Amino acid sequence: MSQSHVQEHIDLIARHEQDFLSRRTGAEKLSDEIAGFAGSLAFVGLHLLIFAAWIVMNSLKITQPQHFDPPPYSLLSTIVALEAILLASFILIRQSRIGRRGDERDHLMLQILLLTEKEITAVLEINRQLAKQVGLGRMADQPEIKELSERTSIEDMAKNIKDNLRTSE
């Protein structure tokens, strides 16, 4: 495959990805940013610093005699619990969008595979006919080659898969 042909495919895939990203809503973009930051080492480091500072400020009598959140730090626990709920929501929003993109890719791949199957079947049938014309009829009529050059019923294949999956459960 030539380098320009490969680059053409890469460019096409990049355009599809950019198109998908550009269709995100403002809320999805925001949730992606938050979920992306939440999954970073900077997020972990920032939280470790905040938690350490919070505990130090509320444990040492040097900083202030009245602590705004004395041990066992119930205010800190409440804030952390609320943050966890919000972060889980942002992550779920992002995962849902990624799942939709995965579904789109799967549908595109299925269409490409179905088209490829039709094309290969046609090429095999042409090759069989050419083989017969040049005196290779016995080879062209081998059962496996004949079977591969026939149209594949996607419905029959899907039913067969479902039946086999049901019996293995």
Mean pLDDT of 106-128: 92
Q: What residue ranges do the domains of the chain occupy?
A: 3-168
As a whole number of angstroms, the distance between CA 90 and CA 33 comes to 9
One-letter identity of residue 168: S
For the chain, the average pLDDT equals 89
pLDDT at res. 68: 83
Calculate the alpha carbon distances from 116 to 4, 101, 109, 144, 154 in Å: 21, 22, 10, 19, 13
Question: Rounded to a whole number, what is the distance in angstroms from the first to the last CA of the chain?
Answer: 43
Q: Say if residue 33's pLDDT is above 60.
A: yes
pLDDT at res. 21: 87
- Whole-structure pTM value: 0.67
| 75-76-78-81 Cα dihedral, nearest 10 degrees | 180
Within the chain, where are the H helices?
A: 3-22, 26-38, 41-59, 74-133, 137-140, 143-148, 154-168
- Spell out the residues 6+ positions from residue 67 whose beta carbon is closer than 8 angstroms to its own: 57, 58, 59
| 14-20-22-26 Cα dihedral, nearest 10 degrees | -150
Mean pLDDT of 75-88: 96
Q: Say if residue 105's pLDDT is above 80.
A: yes
Reported as a pLDDT band with limits 50, 70 and 90, residue 156 is: confident
Reported as a pLDDT band with limits 50, 70 and 90, residue 130 is: very high
Residue 142 per-residue DSSP state: -
What's the half-sphere exposure (Cβ side, CA atoms, 13 Å) at 75? Answer: 8
Length of the chain: 169
